[in-house]
Structures are given as structure tokens and as C-alpha cells.
A and B are shown apart, each in its own frame.
Chain A
């Protein structure tokens, strides 16, 4: 076979796979932006409409779900930044007894994530009176082994001299962290933040177990309740709701594509 034919075969194969991969999302877009009558009728002259989104929006308290998810995702991220920064700083730069063993124990959480321990963690939350609260959804994830590991790596690459210089000028430990470590590790915080946001925006099992009312339910759980109970089988409305709940993340991704991919790469290498 001549080389140019082989090359076109390879290119065609790539695009065919790409098309198959894009199909479910394109199909959902089609269904969501056209009247129900055209859900499976691919008439290019079919009228466009936002009616399905409007129907989904009023059929379930999506506004509340959005608010819950946004508060949850930002709350978890901020709390993770604070707690993981302190721990990572101590493990990277503070020689204290038992730090080696402690680090090993922390890494256990990379494997045993809180969603594997739903039975016991649910009982703990019950004891703390945190069932059906946003705090309850977030608290098991706040001390993240992954965050501690990532920030510790980053802090270790920061020259010790900068740290010493800050201390000679009379900075306290917290001031040193804020003035030296935080700014220099900024890219790592961005990466970790993006990974954390997308993880918790998508997280489902734990919020499903912990919540039982609209007041704390995040988008994923809200969408599931909506699709399984509130709605008959109007696929155009369900597709609209599915796209609506993913839209902020997808837009965030499209805008920060490079940063996102870099973050996932950084995050994957644990």
C-alpha cells in the first residue's frame, strides 16, 4: 500500500474515533436545543429553542442546587488550601519527631478515599449532627492526602535561603508561609484548585448518602433525583438538565484548557 493512502487511512481512523467520542455530547446538545418533537428527528431545519432549559429550571430547584454546589466546591477548596498548606509546610520544612511515619500514614488516604468508608463515615457524621449539611458533605475531604503530598513536593523545591531571609527580618512562621511559600507555589495551588473543583463538582455517592433534602443537595444529586423521579421520560428536558449542570465546568475548561490539562497531569503523578 502506498504511504499516502496509509496516511489517509490513519487520519480517517482518528477522526472516526473522535466522531464516536463526540457523538453522545452532540446528541445531548441536539436534543436539548430542539423541541421534543425533533428529539430523534435529525432535520437540520428544526427550530432551535431554549424551552427545554426553561422547563428543567422550573421543574426542580436547580437554582438552589447550583448555589449549594458553588458554596460546597469553594468551601472545600479554601479549607483544603489552609489545612494542607500547614501540614505540607511542616512535613517539608519542619524537622519534628515522627514526621516520616506520619507522612506514610497520610498517604494511605490516596488509596482509601472517604467514599469507600461510607458506612462508618455516615455514622460519624450522624454523631456530629452533620447529616444533610454542606459541612457534612465536605468535611471528610478537607484534609486531603493528595493536597498535602502535592504542596509538600512544591515547598521542598523552594530554596531554604528565602525562608531564612524572611525569618532574619523577624517574620513568624505564618508570615513566612504567606510571604514566601504561597506566592512561589502559586502554579501548584492553581493546579490543585482546578482538580479539587472538578472532583467535587462531579462527586456523587457521598453527597447522595449525606443529603436528604433540597437545602444541602448539590447539583449531581439534584440531577439524579430530577431525572429519576420528577420527570417522565422527556429526554429533551433531561438532556437540557444534564448539560446545564455540567455547563459551568465545561466553560471553565474551555477557557482554561491548557491549565486544566496541566493540572490533571500534575495531579495524576502522585
Chain B
């Protein structure tokens, strides 16, 4: 009996030993920092001779009065609300094109997917060239049609949409492959039936394709939403948050506050807000995907 208990215990210990390296690292770089971020946001930053003391929600009050925070948050919400649906719409269109009988589909698929492989920093630098006032391709095309030069990234009204275009360009091809996989799952006899009934392209899309790829659309939307709140590479490479914070996004503002202004306490408070946003999206995912959309 005693040996059996011992063997049981041994089993649990061995199980924990197997997961130990992963658990230690995950705790050290994910779970503990989440808690520390929150604690760091409600305590003063310790300095020589001044240990940290409790300051409560003071920083959150500062945040509510910080126009740059509100701008970064608004920019980020706008960024998500525009880039996510546009990328998904384009991705679905790309998938339908590439899965149909279009000549040169392998090449077309490559054209759509290639931006995904490119590092964002490389893509951002290529697009910088694209956007160069007067000299870049965009303005050269504009000149052909008789328009003047535009300082795409230097004007507060065009800077954010210009960055959005890069994100849409880079992400659509990635989402396309999920729709390609989903389209392969659609039973061919449904299309056959639609053909016999003389359904139009639009009817086929609205009645068959769209409802059947709905779970994929939701899945892609959630992932795209999470990504939208972690966007930072192109902001650093293309605008540095400017002009006048017009392209500042949450993670970029955190980066700026923490590593340019060296205000770690405020950065912790901002990070807490970002974590809450991500948690809300995660809960949304939980409820939306758990309700499961069935069409059969």
C-alpha cells in the first residue's frame, strides 16, 4: 500500500518536473510581469533613498487628463475598426479569386501572400519610399493625373490612413490562406445546386459562401483584433508616432513613455490598460466562439 502511494506521488512529481522549465519561464516572463505591471502602476517608482510607496490610482487620473493617451487610444481603435474589416474583406475576395478558375492563379496567390513573409521593418522602409513627397511612386502616379504632391506621412490627416494601408497590404494575404482552407471545406454539390438553379454570383456568395466561411471570418477577426492592439513596428519605422502624435498607437506610446521618457510607472499604468483591452477581446472570443455558429 505504502509503495503504491509512493509510486503515485512519484508520478505527480515526475509530471511537474517535465513541465518545470516551461512553467518557470512562462511565469517569469508572462504571469509575474502581468502582476508586477499592475502593482507598478499603483506604487511610486523607487529611487535612491525613496522606496516605493502606495499612490493608488493617481497615475490613472493623470492618464485620464493626458491628451496623448486619448489620442493613442482613439487612433488604435480607429486602426482596428478600419484595418480589420478591410483586410478580412480583401482576404475573402482574394481567396475566392485564387480558388476559382483564374489564369495564372499560382502567381496571383504568390502576389497576395508575399507581403506576409516580408519583415515589417523591410516593408515599412519600402513603403516609406513609396510615400516620399514628390519623388515616391504614389506622387508620381498623382502627377500623371494632374494632382500635386502630398506629404502622406507628414500630414496629420493622411499619416494614419497611410500606415493603415501598409497593415492591410501586409495582413490580407495572411488571412487569405485561412479563407482558402475554409472554401475547400464547402461541399461542391452546393455550388452545383446553385448552378442548376441559375443563381447569380452574388446569390452564391450571399447564400452559400459567406454563411459557410462565417466561423473562419470570426476566428480571423479575433486574431486580427488582437494584432491591431500590438502594432508598433511600422509606427517606429515610418513616423515615430508623428506628426503631432497623429500616428501614436497604444503599444508605441508605452514604448515611448518607458524608453524615451523613462517614466516606468506611467508606462506600467498604460500597459495595464492595454492588458485590459486584450482581456476584453479574449473574453469576446470566448463567448463568440463558444456560441458556435452552425448552419446545418
Contacts and interface: CB of A to CB of B under 8 A. Distances in A.
Interface of A: 6, 10-11, 13-15, 17-19, 21-25, 27-28, 31, 40, 83-84, 86-87, 89-91, 94-99, 102, 105-106, 108-109, 111-124, 139-140, 142-143, 145, 148, 173, 198, 201-202, 204-205, 208-209, 219-220, 223-224, 227-228, 233, 235, 238-239, 241-243, 245-246, 249-250, 253, 257, 260-261, 264-265, 268-269
A260 B117 CA distance: 10
B223 A268 contact: yes
B116 to A, nearest CB: 8
B154 to A, nearest CB: 14
B282 A83 contact: no
Interface string B170-184: 001110011001000
Contacts of B279: 111
Given A96-B11, A117-B34, A204 B120 contact: yes
Contacts of A22: 111, 114
Contact of B132 (A145, A235, A250): A235
Given A86-B22, A119-B267, 20 more contacts: A17-B93, A21-B173, A24-B127, A94-B18, A99-B15, A106-B22, A109-B30, A112-B34, A118-B271, A120-B32, A120-B33, A120-B268, A198-B117, A223-B125, A224-B236, A224-B237, A227-B237, A238-B128, A246-B119, A264-B177
Interface stretch (B49-57, B69-77, B225-233): B225-233
B12 interface: yes
A13 to B, nearest CB: 8
B186 interface: no
Contacts of A87: 18-19, 21-23
In terms of DSSP, what is the predominant structure of the interface of chain B? helix
A97 B103 CA distance: 57
A254 to B, nearest CB: 8
B178 A268 contact: yes
A117 B271 contact: yes
A242 B255 contact: no
A120 B40 CA distance: 9
> What 7 pairs between A and B have smallest CB-CB spacing?
A96-B15, A120-B33, A143-B25, A90-B18, A87-B22, A14-B97, A202-B119
27 contacts: A10-B100, A10-B102, A10-B201, A11-B103, A21-B114, A22-B114, A24-B123, A25-B118, A28-B129, A83-B25, A86-B19, A87-B18, A95-B11, A98-B16, A108-B31, A113-B230, A117-B33, A119-B271, A120-B268, A124-B33, A140-B29, A145-B26, A198-B117, A202-B121, A220-B120, A238-B129, A250-B117
B268 A119 contact: yes
B12 A96 contact: yes
Interface in B94-145: 94, 97-98, 100, 102-104, 107-108, 110-123, 125-130, 132, 135-137, 140
A17 B97 contact: yes
B129 A235 contact: yes
A96 B16 contact: yes
Nearest to B29: A140
Given A90-B15, A202-B119, A121 B112 contact: no
Contacts of B94: 17
Contacts of B173: 21
- Give the interface centre of A112, A114, A121, A124 by most chain B CB atoms within 10 Å: A112
Nearest to B257: A119
A17 B173 CA distance: 12
A119 B40 contact: yes
Nearest to B172: A21
B169 interface: yes
Interface in B252-279: 254-255, 258-259, 264, 267-268, 271, 274-275, 278-279
A21 B115 contact: yes
Contacts of A13: 97
Contacts of A95: 11, 15
Contacts of A204: 119-121, 232-233, 236
B285 to A, nearest CB: 9
Contacts of A249: 117-119
Contact of B117 (A14, A83, A246): A246
B37 interface: yes
A27 B19 contact: no
Given A15-B108, A265-B181, A121 B29 contact: yes
Contact of A94 (B14, B90, B181): B14
B155 interface: no
A105 B26 CA distance: 9
A106 B173 CA distance: 29
Given A40-B135, A118-B258, A119-B258, A27 B22 contact: no
Interface string B3-21: 0000000011011101101
Contact of A116 (B129, B140, B275): B275
Nearest to B223: A268
B38 to A, nearest CB: 10
Contacts of A143: 21-26, 29
B119 A116 contact: no
